[in-house]
């Protein structure tokens, strides 16, 4: 079960980014829902939501690549250790894995990540993001919620 959601996220993420590359120029914006949602084409050399997004951050680039690779191995290790655990946890971890792989593909291929979903209210904009970022966020929420709601183990005397 762990591989299919991750593969779906990677495929959807890369397909939408290819569509953005072909359909929009960098920094172009297309309003879809006036005053609320645009498709944009921005590049992010940093982390989620533009954190560490600075030009000439070669060290930051390598730190992010290696941190992502380590996170992927930790996720795979966690999967290996889970036997018969919550399907919500497994699905959440798979979404995180797919999102990490989707953004890693961009980072290695382009040295930056393509973001294109721009939600806003008036002049206030949420930082642009992509399918991989959304999968990581939803997956983290699912894992956190499943861990929070898990019944505590009974201690034996």
Residue 18, domain member (yes or no): yes
Whole-number Å distance between alpha carbons of 123 and 138: 26
pTM score, whole prediction: 0.85
Residue 112, domain member (yes or no): yes
Token couple for 44: 């992010």
Which residue range forms the structural domain that includes residue 82? 3-28+39-49+57-149
Residue 126, domain member (yes or no): yes
Domain count, the chain: 1
pLDDT in tens, 38-68: 999 999 886 554 555 555 666 677 888 999 9
Q: Looking at 13, 106, 115, 118, which residue is catalytic?
A: 115
The closest alpha carbon to 116, from 43, 52, 15, belongs to 43
pLDDT in tens, 17-30: 999 999 999 999 99
Residue 75, domain member (yes or no): yes
Only one residue has tokens 């072909």, namely: 22
Residue 34, domain member (yes or no): no
Token couple for 117: 């979903």
Q: Looking at 13, 106, 118, 133, which residue is catalytic?
A: 133
pLDDT in tens, 60-91: 778 889 999 999 999 988 888 887 666 888 99
Residue 33, domain member (yes or no): no
> Catalytic annotation on 13?
no
Beta bridge partner(s), residue 30: 39
Whole-number Å distance between alpha carbons of 3 and 21: 27
pLDDT in tens, 130-139: 999 999 999 9
> Catalytic annotation on 133?
yes
């Amino acid at each position: 079960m762990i591989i299919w959601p991750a593969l779906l996220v990677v495929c959807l993420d890369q397909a939408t980014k290819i569509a953005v590359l072909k359909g929009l120029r960098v920094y172009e914006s297309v309003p879809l829902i006036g005053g609320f949602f645009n498709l944009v084409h921005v590049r992010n050399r940093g982390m989620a939501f533009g954190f560490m997004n600075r030009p000439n951050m070669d060290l930051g680039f390598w730190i992010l690549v290696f941190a992502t690779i380590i996170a992927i191995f930790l996720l795979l290790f966690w999967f290996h250790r889970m036997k018969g655990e919550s399907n919500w946890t497994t699905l959440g971890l798979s979404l995180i894995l797919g999102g990490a792989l989707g953004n890693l593909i961009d980072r290695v291929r382009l040295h930056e990540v393509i973001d294109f979903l721009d939600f806003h209210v008036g002049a206030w904009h949420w930082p642009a993001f992509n399918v991989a970022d959304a999968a990581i966020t939803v997956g983290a929420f699912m894992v956190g919620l499943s861990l929070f709601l898990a019944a505590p183990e009974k201690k034996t005397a």
